[in-house]
Amino acid sequence: MQPLSCSTITPLPQGRFIKKTNYLLMKLKFTGLFLLCFLTGMYTLHAQDWRTEREEMEKKFKLTQEDTAKARWRKGGLFNVNINQGTLSNWAAGGDKFTFSVASTFTGYIAYRQGRKTWDNVLDLAYGYVRTTSLGSRKSDDRIDFTSKYGYDIGNHWYLSALFNLRTQFTKGYLYDSVPPQLTSRFFSPAYVLLAPGFDYKPNEALSVFMTPISARFLIVMDDYLSSIGAYGVDSGKHVLYQMGAYVSVNYVKEIMKNITFKTRLDLFSDYRHNPQNIDVFMTNALMLKVNKYITANLNVDLIYDDDVKEFINEKTGVKGPRLQVKEVIGIGFSARF
């Protein structure tokens, strides 16, 4: 076998070599161009997808922020007004020739939630007016009641809280047993202002039980005449009575049946400085029946016992003293929810 040598290799013709080389270079160029276009297209598509995804995420994040901000505040209200009018002419059964009455209530609330912090504000207003030919004009209902409560969740449905409450009325009130009628109340005469740090137990949205062993209550009588006779327990000629004691407030709101809502509030206060065994009671109850979107029926019953209100005369002894005060109002009329 002869050894392989350079003389045995047949060289390619120069033209064929150049042609093959150009072919390979062109093929490499096309392959590279194809890869470059492919990579560029993939990058462009990926960038577009990434921008679209980012824009969608930004929109979702923005909406989430807005929804969260809105969810922190809750506000609303309910307004009711009931109007009754009657006229008699040549009515054999008798009665007042003309009667007119109007009763209105408003409940508004603003609540704030963020993390463990809560802030609840509730305003209750009520006013009623009656006019008859035999009795003249007088009010049948009158209330201003504002409560603000701040709480911090400490676990197991308990909140470390602080409460502020103001309760008074709009206009003058009279006792009609005497002639002329005796003035018994007016705006900020009396007014009850309560400040209380304490604990609030809220096992669900319907029930709240606020309690404190120590609270400050200010009984204000701004009217000079009522102040001069020592009305509502203030010293004669004084306008403010300071009280310190234990306080409990129970609030419950529940739709007990479809279109029937029951709302109640019970406040108990014991004055450590004066007869702590005589507990002041304030209780308000409301039963609301929704007939349709704009028509409702309401039953309201309020109970008050205040040992310092000694304006009522005992028929047997003739001595003035405190008594259980009861107020009941029934109405059917227009309602508007906000």
Q: Which of 94, 99, 98 is nearest to 84 (CA)?
A: 99
What CA–CA distance (Å, rounded) separates 96 from 94? 7
pLDDT of residue 247: 97
Q: Which of 108, 87, 107, 110 is nearest to 98 (CA)?
A: 87
pLDDT of residue 329: 84
What CA–CA distance (Å, rounded) separates 208 from 174? 35
Q: Judge if pTM exceeds 0.95.
A: no
pLDDT of residue 294: 87
pLDDT of residue 15: 54
pLDDT of residue 271: 95
Residue 5 resides in a domain: no
Residue 21 resides in a domain: no
Structure tokens at 38: 């492919």
Q: How many domains is the chain partitioned into structurally?
A: 1
Residue 283 resides in a domain: yes
pLDDT of residue 91: 80
* CATH number reported for the structural domain that contains residue 140 in this entry: 2.40.230
pLDDT of residue 58: 54
- pLDDT digits 0-9 by tens, 231-288: 998 999 999 999 999 999 999 999 999 999 999 999 999 999 988 999 999 999 999 9
Residue 99 resides in a domain: yes
335, 296 contact by CB (below 8 A)? yes
Residue 212 resides in a domain: yes
| Domain, as residue range, for 333 | 72-337
Residue 104 resides in a domain: yes
What CA–CA distance (Å, rounded) separates 302 from 284? 4
Residue 64 resides in a domain: no
Residue 180 resides in a domain: yes
All residue ranges of the chain with pLDDT < 50 are 1-10, 12, 50, 63-64
pLDDT of residue 62: 52
pLDDT of residue 94: 78
pLDDT of residue 113: 92
